[in-house]
Structure formats: C-alpha cells, structure tokens
Structure 1
C-alpha cells in the first residue's frame, strides 16, 4: 500500500491499484471537512474519472467517534455575506455530483457519527455499511440554522425516503444504523469496527470479481435516472436568504462558543 497523503485526507491504493481507500483524518474534530479536504477530494475525483485501474473507492473516518461530522464551522465565521456561503455550497454540490458520477463503485464504511457533510458524502456513495453505534442525520435546524442545497436534499430522499428525510431535517432526529438498514440505506450493520472491516473486505472482493463494464454501465444509467434537474438559480436564491440571515449568524456564533443557539431572538 502506498500513501498519497498523511494530513487531513489520507489516500492509499491496494490490490495493484484496483482499490482506492480514502480516510478523513481529523479525529480530534470528528473528521469535520475543511476546504483543504474538499480540494483534495476534488482533485482525487478528477484523477479517478479516467482511471481504468481503479474499480472501487472506499471512504472511512479516522478514530472511533465519527465517519464525518459535517463541515468545519470555523470556516463559516469568516463569511460575512450570504453569497459567500452560497458559493461555498455550490462548490460542495459540484464535488458531490462528481462523487456520484465516478465510474468506480464507491463505498462508505461508517463507524460513528455520520451527519451534515458526512451524511452528504455517504448518500452520494453507491453503497454504505455501518457499525451498530453509527448515527445519521441533518440536525441543522437546531445547530446552525442553515439549509441544504436541493440536490443534497433529493439525494437524502433517494437513499432514506421522504418520511425519514423529513424527520432528520424538521425534527432534527438522528437515525440509528438498524433503522437505516431497515430502510435499505445500508447494505449491512456490524457489531464493531473489526467486523465492519471484514464486511468491507468481503464486499470489495466481490466487486473486484464483477464485470467492470456492467458496473460502470449500471452506474451511468442510475446517474441519469437520479440526476438533479431543478432550478439552480432559485435554489441558490433560497440558500442566500438563509445564509445571509441572523439565524445562521447566531448558529455559527453559538457553535463556536459551545453554546446552545437562541433562534427565537434571531428572526430571519
């Protein structure tokens, strides 16, 4: 195995390059994504687009607490206008769509919290496996007071169903792994990290034995079926209104101060 990075994003290859492993490596921050990590993922996805040797991409989170717990909120503190946050969201949306369009089969191996941006990455993967202690959700209505871009919302509906997506976003509910499995959002649930690693290994072995043309063609067909075709300008207008409002500023302030936000005093 050769490592491409030893920083926030660790990329390595196995099986003569057929398997690419990506580890979100900020365990001290629950693997929350930074712009540097997003840039690294963008470059990786670009390189993988024409990579004929790679057949499977596996995503993991470092440590025993989280797959990824959203975005690094400190980066939002420097954004003084809603348009800045919308541009940030636009870059992430494009990145996730690149993930969904990868010709390789993408697998999220989840152990722990999988929320916010972490859940967005997991839902854009083709397959997901998790430990029984894992939790999933978008509790942003009680934390940051922002909103999802519509493609991310649609993807969550595709994977978890409309009813559960409403519970995640409107009631700020975190869904446990067994419930996610019952909904078909997970391929398997294991008791521990060691068992998860074995399950991933079994899955990857099977994928490497499958016909690459079948997998790539099926992925391309599914991408066409689930492609977002909504009004991007209207969606960005809605996001700018949310990100430019006082509720979001209160959410960021409270998060960084480790306080509970008071959204009742911050009307938008």
Structure 2
C-alpha cells in the first residue's frame, strides 16, 4: 500500500508514525484512517518494533479533528457506518494492539484527534497543546469512542462538561485531569517519549502485551477483568521471558528478553 498521508520512522525499537496532512492540520479522513490501520498492523507484527509513537506533523496540530467535508452530507445510516468502521479500523484497533502505543500530542488534538490520542495506551503533551471534543457545536456527538474513553480517563462530570460545552482545555488542565501523563516544552517532546520508550523496552514484550489485555478487560462490558488478569498471569509462566526474567533476578544480572 502506498502511504500518502503518514510518515514512518523506525530506529532502535521505536517506530514513530507521523500523520502528515499539515495543510489540513492533520485532520483524519477515510484514506488516512485506512493508511494508519495498515501501517499499525504491520508495526504490531514486527518483532523489531517494541514501542510505537503517534504524532502529527508541524508544530500546530496533533490531529485537529475529522475531515468534516467528507461526511457533511451523510445520512443517518451512513453516519453510523462511518463511526463503526472508524472504530474498527483505528480507534479500537489501537487500544488493543499488543505493542505499546504512545500519543505525542504536539498541538491541537480535537474531535477525532483527541479520540485517537485517548485510544493510545497513554499520552504525552507539549505545553502548547489544546484538547477538546467540539462535535456538539456541529450538531453531532463524538463518534470514535470519545463519549466512552473520556469519562474513563477523567471522570463522568468533567467529561460531560467538556463534551457539552464543546470547549478546549490546555495542556496543564489536561495534566491535572489525568488526560495526559506528562506535559513538556514542545522542543523536549521527542526526548521525553524516547526516554519513556527506552524504559518500556527494558521489560518483557510478551508480559507487556498481556498486561495491556488485562488492563483493557476492566473496561469491556460483560468481562471480568480480574479473571482475565488471572488467566494472563498464568500464561506468562509458559513464556521464555518469564524463565529469563526470574533466572536473571535470582542470578542478579540484567534480563535479556526475547518477547517469547
């Protein structure tokens, strides 16, 4: 597949995926969602990729929203299909990837952009970032998981206020709310996520993948997260990484994990 809307760099275990539509403030259209799905699927299957970072090109925007012109004249049925397909291809897909995915929010993260950031496993923001879900100002609601993930991250009351007012919050407020893990000057964003990625890569990839599954299970209807945790904990005992990790600990040396 030819990629026209994204750029990818892979170095020392870290793959950085940059949404590259600066003339549209990196707005998500169907083609970009499709490209992201294909690339992220490839990266998730690549044993040499241990951490994935998603960011936006330029210094103004992570993703400033969805490409409204693409669906402004949709019917109700077309709108529902748009949301369902987008969640399947990108937002739910990202959340459930076995490779850790970090959102590096380098500017505006609005609408679908904030929804993409929230689907990532955690978020780091530059101090100029602004975040919000402005959909009700357009007569629609967030359709890529925003009404579900925002309350999970910041609580029902704050999420209701953000959604109902269609307003933006700054990076400092996002940090206070727990929407992002870190806020740094834009010039330090790369160094910050690289440092965190390197800490992640010291650990067992197979254990991290199972931890992602266990944590996500708590937010799925009809799933007992504790039971999933017990299952995934047990599965770890059958892995080479468990044998290596425990042996290295007992031998007082650094573990060399293979992800198997």
- Classify the TM-score, shorter chain: 0.7 to 0.9
Please tell me whether residue 43 in structure 1 is matched to residue 43 in structure 2. Answer: no
The equivalent residue for 2:95 is 100
Shift in CA distance, 120/226, structure 1 to aligned 2, threshold 3 Å: same
Instruction: Give 5+ residue unaligned stretches, structure 1.
Output: 230-268
Matched ranges for 1:226-245 at <5 A: 226-227=219-220
Identify which of 74, 83, 98 aligns with 2:69: 74
Contact 1:151 1:228 in 2 (8 A): no
Q: Distance in 2 between matches of 1:11 and 1:150?
A: 23
Q: Distance in 2 between matches of 1:74 and 1:58?
A: 28
Q: Distance in 2 between matches of 1:219 and 1:48?
A: 17
Deviation at 1:207, TM superposition (A): 1.2
Q: Distance in 2 between matches of 1:7 and 1:47?
A: 16
Q: Distance in 1 between matches of 2:168 and 2:145?
A: 20
Runs of 4+ with deviation above 2 angstroms: 4-7, 44-53, 148-152
Deviation at 1:46, TM superposition (A): 2.9
RMSD: 2.0
Contact 1:93 1:152 in 2 (8 A): no
Where relative contact order (Cα < 8 A, 6+ residues apart) is larger, the structure is: 1
TM-score by length of 2: 0.80
Matched ranges for 1:216-255 at <5 A: 216-227=209-220
Q: Distance in 2 between matches of 1:68 and 1:75?
A: 16
The equivalent residue for 1:9 is 6
Q: Distance in 2 between matches of 1:107 and 1:190?
A: 15
Matched ranges for 1:121-200 at <5 A: 121-142=116-137, 144-149=138-143, 151-191=145-185, 193-200=186-193
The equivalent residue for 1:26 is 21
Deviation at 1:206, TM superposition (A): 0.8
Instruction: Give 5+ residue unaligned stretches, structure 2.
Output: 223-260
* Greater shift in the superposed pair: 42-51 or 28-37: 42-51
